[in-house]
Structure 1
Amino acid sequence: MIQSYKKRHELADYYDTILIGSGMGSLTTAAILAKEGQRVLVLERHYTPGGFTHVFKRRGYEWDVGIHYIGEVQRPNSVIKRLFDYISNDQLQWADMGEVYDRIILGDRHYDLVKGVKNFTAQLSAYFPEETAAIERYVDLVFEANKTSRWFYMDKALPRFLSKLSGRFLRGPFHKFSDQTTYEVLRSLTDNEELIRVLSGQYGDYGLPPKKSSFVIHASVARHYFGGGSFPVGGSSQIVETIDPVIEAAGGTILVSAEVAEIVIEGNTATGVRMADGKVLTANRIVSGAGVMTTYHKLLPAAVVKEHQLLEPLQKVERSVAHACLYIGLHGSPEELQLPKTNLWIYPGDLDHDACVDRYLADLDQPFPVVYVSFPSAKDPDWNRRYPGRSTIDIITLVPYEAFANWEGSRWMKRGEDYEAFKERIAQRLLAELYEQMPQVEGKVDCYELSTPLTTQHFVNYDKGEIYGLDHSPQRFRQRFLQPRTPIKNFYLTGQDIVTAGVGEALFSGVLTATAMTGVNVLDKVMK
């Protein structure tokens, strides 16, 4: 008997597919395969499943570590809503965040992003009346770029011979947008740098500032939230809670505290996994949702990696940004504390986004280049039932992994006094940012805890604590190896690396992986 997600569980003698990691990509792939009649086994190295969708509890509070808002789930027939319904058997519910989903703060200047394309355009035009034509053209380009992405991503699921025949035509329109940076596209529309900063004010959702990020990732995020933001009713733990029964209904399970040491390859065919305790589990197919860097550097046998030269293409991509997150617990309900549902994006008022990042990376005592504040307890209509008289706030900022290199190899929760002192300095700076925007919460903080890139490394198994896997430069979208299929028979990839960052995109990666594995047009099946 071993520990499954919810109860003691006896391993079956046979599984159709074993999935490594329990993030959104793996969960989606597993649920779709289960609905195709497969018995699947999801292996999670930590004590709780979900990857960036999991929650943790401490001191009578609960925090969501990765989900802060999701777009498009209020539209009944949107692809993302139908996908979530499909993999949860319609059990996952969403709460609308209201009219203003993001507030961009540049020094002492505030700009609201409001839901609805017409409202979005009208509000920005009110802020920038001389730029209405540029704003309207910007919205058009966001939609144009997103239309090209469907065929680009579906090409990833095609059999190789079909991709060779038609892939160039499917990818070409997308590359016209992906080869340009966000700043290049925005600067072609306007020379108003303040407007450019506002339009790119969500860049923290994908990690790269506008002069380094590909326009397609910016367009994907902007389009995703045009209809507003939503939050899972009951918190992000409901994602695993509602998907797990779908997996179990087909005889599968999610195992926790189940670390994979190596993928077993025999004759260039994946046949199973070797666990950290030495036990070998076998299946017809193996899927890694652990990220392409971790998979190729750590999980595949070195001889196989060398044979297929798998490390060479990794030289053409970079790891995404690392971060710190301050999880705050407060006395008082969200209503008592007047906490908004709107996310705050706080930036220095003097420089453009890229210059702020460069200044900070050169001297970490300089102003944070971006501070993101989320109010999950205010977004969740079920919160007060579970945690009456309490509230939570999450604050995220950029922190380079190198700043914590001195503690590399130390144990979680036992990294020493110097580490804790460094964390406290960052925490106090983030609290000061919060109090400046929300002075009413000062004196109401009950507890707080700061996660660092080492925390992300420990829980997500990303070597440099990167939050979004691979970064989203134009070069990234030219890499053909970022797809579900690998050179190894019966071995597949899923997760944000084969699509782009974010829970919604990781959800879609599961569709691509399941489609590549089964030959079933999953998206067509879901939408019908």
Structure 2
Amino acid sequence: MAASKPASQAPKPSRLRIGRRYRATRLDPPYDAIVIGSGIGGLTTAAMLSAAGRKVLVLEQHYTAGGFTHAYDRNGYEWDVGIHYIGDVGEHPTMVRKLFDFLSDGQLKWAPMDRTYDRIFLGDQHFDLRAGPEAFISGFLERFPGEERALREYLKRVSAVGRAMPLVTMEKLLPLWCGPLLSLIKKWSLPPYLHKTTYEVLRELTDNETLIAALAGQWGDYGMTPDVGSFMVHALIVKHYLYGGYYPVGGASKVAETIIPRVQASGGEVFTYAEVETILLDGHRAVGVRMADGTEIRAPLVISGAGVFNTFARLLPASAAEHSGYRDHLTKVRPSMAHLCLYIGLQKTAEELGLPKTNYWLYPGADYSGNVQKFLEDPKAEIPLVYLSFPSAKDPSFTRRYPGRATIEIVAPGPYEWFAQWQEQPWGKRGVDYESLKEDYSQRLLEYLYRHFPQLRGQIDYYELSTPLSTRYFCSYGKGEIYGLDHDPDRFKQTWLRPKTRIKGLFLTGQDIMSCGVAGAMVAGMVTAQSILGLRRGRSLLKKVFADSASATVKETDPAPGSVSRSP
């Protein structure tokens, strides 16, 4: 094998730093709103409030803005940490594409992946997810020729969930006293399978367990196996990618880089290295934040994109969280899965190495929950999910920015509890035992890569593994969770997961409000801005969003092969 930099050596800091470094002397009050966290939810809310004339301050504790949309470079390589692919941004004018165009002023460009955007492996068998509904169905019919009726009904239900989302979203905007009336409307309007598990819904369509597993193979995108995960979020993800996967040209960091000017347009700013210690209250009203350096920043609105556990168990004073009932609410939801990610660098191009623009999902077999349980009980058991992503193959600008290089990412489950004994140790200095455990997992994950791409053995120049402690350190998620809250059916019945809180002046944004993923968190950011601005001004802003995006001149690469134009 080519020489790899040992994981025990602390790597040099990244140069990909988006946002302005925080200094108390750089503040320019007064601000109309403060946003805690610069993930896509927080940036979307900030940018939309800025478009409505508000001066917004975004505070990010990390060294770079973007949350899980950020990228980092090291040793001459660059990797994304969360944007492995995005759907609904092709030629067809979806809300997601229009919103991205507005937020970035048309500067964010998208490159299509291969016609097969996801390849699901169940042991030695594989099943392709192809762009476009008919291509999607025909691909499965090649393997399951007698299941056309089930497949068409499946996509019909996926579409029905999409049509139900405006009503689900409206519930988060209307006052709680509208609840009884909305419950009646939902009872008659929403499909009966909306709050079932993915497996329950698929089992109603077919008794072929292999087909069920293949259709549910994207469960890693929301972190819950089909027997416990919500069909609603599963359907939203299937619908999101149904017309193909795309990748931001220039890498994941382009997302924050192109959105921040929208925030700055009304005098706002995005600061990094800006750790918020607590939310300031005047009675039962949020009036600002206190920073880790003791600086107090006042504003009539505080918007937290830090997640509900961080907001109500860490940032909000305990007495206020208890009095308002949020401490009790937190017992009804759970943090999502934690993960490992192996970042790999190679000194040849993706083309020279034969790397695809297709994601690989590797499973030991169709018994997802059984395999996960075996792994939780025995860390040396076969890893129940291994995800392979090839960012340098997806980004057409990569070879220009990093000539003669390629990158790969391997993601797998990694329970936080397995690493908790080192949680109090500083990043980069957690000791020999921690580094030895990381190296063991790195080698195991590399073997999965070589199994499917044997030509890569001996080609690895550099690799490093992130653990749940990395996520805790860089993203401030207490258990290293990557999808915010678990996406089981009960989570979507929690009426308190809405932008407006019971504390005046305090709002929530990000993936905990709607659903995980870049699109889910971005839509949550839009909903939060609507909630703050009110019905009339919110509607006026949305008209501006979609009018501006429609008129933006965006030169895009060709649509993904097999993709189909459609209406929003």
TM band (smaller chain)? over 0.9
Q: Is the Cα contact below 8 Å between 1:485 and 1:492 reproduced in 2?
A: yes
Q: CA deviation at 1:172?
A: 6.4
Q: Is the Cα contact below 8 Å between 1:323 and 1:396 reproduced in 2?
A: yes
Looking at structure 2, the residues matched to 309 and 145 of structure 1 have their Cα atoms a distance apart, in angstroms, of: 31
Residue type of the partner of 2:545?
V
Q: CA deviation at 1:6?
A: 4.0
Report the counterpart of residue 380 of structure 2 in structure 1: 365
Which digits, 9 at most, give the CA deviation of each residue in 1:292-348, with x for residues without a partner?
011100000111112112111111111100000000001100110111000000000
Q: CA deviation at 1:436?
A: 0.4
Report the counterpart of residue 515 of structure 2 in structure 1: 500
Looking at structure 2, the residues matched to 364 and 124 of structure 1 have their Cα atoms a distance apart, in angstroms, of: 33
Q: Is the Cα contact below 8 Å between 2:303 and 2:506 reproduced in 1?
A: yes
Determine helix, strand or coil for the equivalent of 1:326: strand
Unaligned runs of 5+ in 1: none
Looking at structure 1, the residues matched to 278 and 187 of structure 2 have their Cα atoms a distance apart, in angstroms, of: 34
Matched, 1:404 2:419: yes
Q: 1:514 aligns with which of 506, 509, 529?
A: 529
Determine helix, strand or coil for the equivalent of 2:232: helix
Q: CA deviation at 1:117?
A: 0.4
Matched, 1:57 2:73: yes
Matched, 1:226 2:233: no
Which digits, 9 at most, give the CA deviation of each residue in 1:223-278, with x for residues without a partner?
11100000000001001110111111110110010100000010211110000011
Residue type of the partner of 2:382?
P
Q: Is the Cα contact below 8 Å between 1:19 and 1:286 reproduced in 2?
A: yes
Looking at structure 1, the residues matched to 327 and 173 of structure 2 have their Cα atoms a distance apart, in angstroms, of: 22
Which digits, 9 at most, give the CA deviation of each residue in 1:6-40, with x for residues without a partner?
47872112000000000010000011001001110
Determine helix, strand or coil for the equivalent of 2:289: strand
Matched, 1:427 2:442: yes
Matched, 1:467 2:482: yes
Runs of 4+ that moved beyond 6 A:
none
Q: 1:527 aligns with which of 546, 555, 563?
A: 546
Determine helix, strand or coil for the equivalent of 1:312: helix
Residue type of the partner of 2:162?
N
* Identity in percent: 49
Report the counterpart of residue 440 of structure 1 in structure 2: 455
Looking at structure 2, the residues matched to 343 and 514 of structure 1 have their Cα atoms a distance apart, in angstroms, of: 34
Report the counterpart of residue 72 of structure 1 in structure 2: 88
Q: Is the Cα contact below 8 Å between 2:345 and 2:405 reproduced in 1?
A: yes
Q: CA deviation at 1:507?
A: 0.4
Residue type of the partner of 2:546?
M
Residue type of the partner of 2:349?
S
Which digits, 9 at most, give the CA deviation of each residue in 1:371-390, with x for residues without a partner?
00000000001101100000
Residue type of the partner of 1:425?
D
Q: CA deviation at 1:524?
A: 4.6
User: Could you say if the C-alpha distance between residues 393 and 110 of structure 1 is closer, same or farther in structure 2, counting changes exceeding 3 Å?
Assistant: same
Matched, 1:30 2:35: no
Q: Within 5 Å, which residues of 2 pair with 1:66-465?
A: 66-163=82-179, 165-166=181-182, 168-170=184-186, 173-174=189-190, 176-349=192-365, 351-465=366-480
Determine helix, strand or coil for the equivalent of 2:192: helix
Q: Is the Cα contact below 8 Å between 2:22 and 2:272 reproduced in 1?
A: no
Q: Is the Cα contact below 8 Å between 1:151 and 1:171 reproduced in 2?
A: no
Residue type of the partner of 2:217?
G
Looking at structure 2, the residues matched to 171 and 385 of structure 1 have their Cα atoms a distance apart, in angstroms, of: 54
User: Could you say if the C-alpha distance between residues 208 and 511 of structure 1 is closer, same or farther in structure 2, counting changes exceeding 3 Å?
Assistant: same
Q: CA deviation at 1:168?
A: 4.6
Looking at structure 2, the residues matched to 104 and 490 of structure 1 have their Cα atoms a distance apart, in angstroms, of: 46
Between stretches 177-186 and 394-403, larger displacement belongs to: 177-186
Unaligned runs of 5+ in 2: 1-16, 548-568
Looking at structure 2, the residues matched to 250 and 171 of structure 1 have their Cα atoms a distance apart, in angstroms, of: 43
User: Could you say if the C-alpha distance between residues 310 and 175 of structure 1 is closer, same or farther in structure 2, counting changes exceeding 3 Å?
Assistant: farther
Q: CA deviation at 1:159?
A: 3.6
User: Could you say if the C-alpha distance between residues 526 and 124 of structure 1 is closer, same or farther in structure 2, counting changes exceeding 3 Å?
Assistant: same
Looking at structure 2, the residues matched to 65 and 55 of structure 1 have their Cα atoms a distance apart, in angstroms, of: 6
Q: CA deviation at 1:364?
A: 1.1
User: Could you say if the C-alpha distance between residues 333 and 417 of structure 1 is closer, same or farther in structure 2, counting changes exceeding 3 Å?
Assistant: same
Residue type of the partner of 1:495?
G
Looking at structure 1, the residues matched to 187 and 289 of structure 2 have their Cα atoms a distance apart, in angstroms, of: 34
Residue type of the partner of 1:79?
M
Looking at structure 1, the residues matched to 361 and 182 of structure 2 have their Cα atoms a distance apart, in angstroms, of: 41
TM-score (norm 1): 0.97
User: Could you say if the C-alpha distance between residues 209 and 171 of structure 1 is closer, same or farther in structure 2, counting changes exceeding 3 Å?
Assistant: same
Looking at structure 1, the residues matched to 176 and 129 of structure 2 have their Cα atoms a distance apart, in angstroms, of: 42
User: Could you say if the C-alpha distance between residues 478 and 501 of structure 1 is closer, same or farther in structure 2, counting changes exceeding 3 Å?
Assistant: same
Determine helix, strand or coil for the equivalent of 2:300: strand
Residue type of the partner of 1:447?
Y
Q: CA deviation at 1:171?
A: 7.2
Residue type of the partner of 1:20?
I
Q: Is the Cα contact below 8 Å between 1:4 and 1:253 reproduced in 2?
A: no
User: Could you say if the C-alpha distance between residues 305 and 168 of structure 1 is closer, same or farther in structure 2, counting changes exceeding 3 Å?
Assistant: farther
Report the counterpart of residue 46 of structure 1 in structure 2: 62
Please report the RMSD computed on the Cα atoms of aligned residues, expressed in angstroms. 1.5
Residue type of the partner of 2:390?
F
Residue type of the partner of 2:240?
H
Q: CA deviation at 1:459?
A: 0.9
Q: CA deviation at 1:151?
A: 1.1
Residue type of the partner of 1:250?
S
Q: CA deviation at 1:188?
A: 0.8
Looking at structure 1, the residues matched to 449 and 111 of structure 2 have their Cα atoms a distance apart, in angstroms, of: 24
User: Could you say if the C-alpha distance between residues 172 and 215 of structure 1 is closer, same or farther in structure 2, counting changes exceeding 3 Å?
Assistant: farther
Residue type of the partner of 1:258?
A
Which digits, 9 at most, give the CA deviation of each residue in 1:134-163, with x for residues without a partner?
111111111112211221012202244445
User: Could you say if the C-alpha distance between residues 151 and 372 of structure 1 is closer, same or farther in structure 2, counting changes exceeding 3 Å?
Assistant: same
* Number of equivalenced pairs: 525
TM-score (norm 2): 0.90
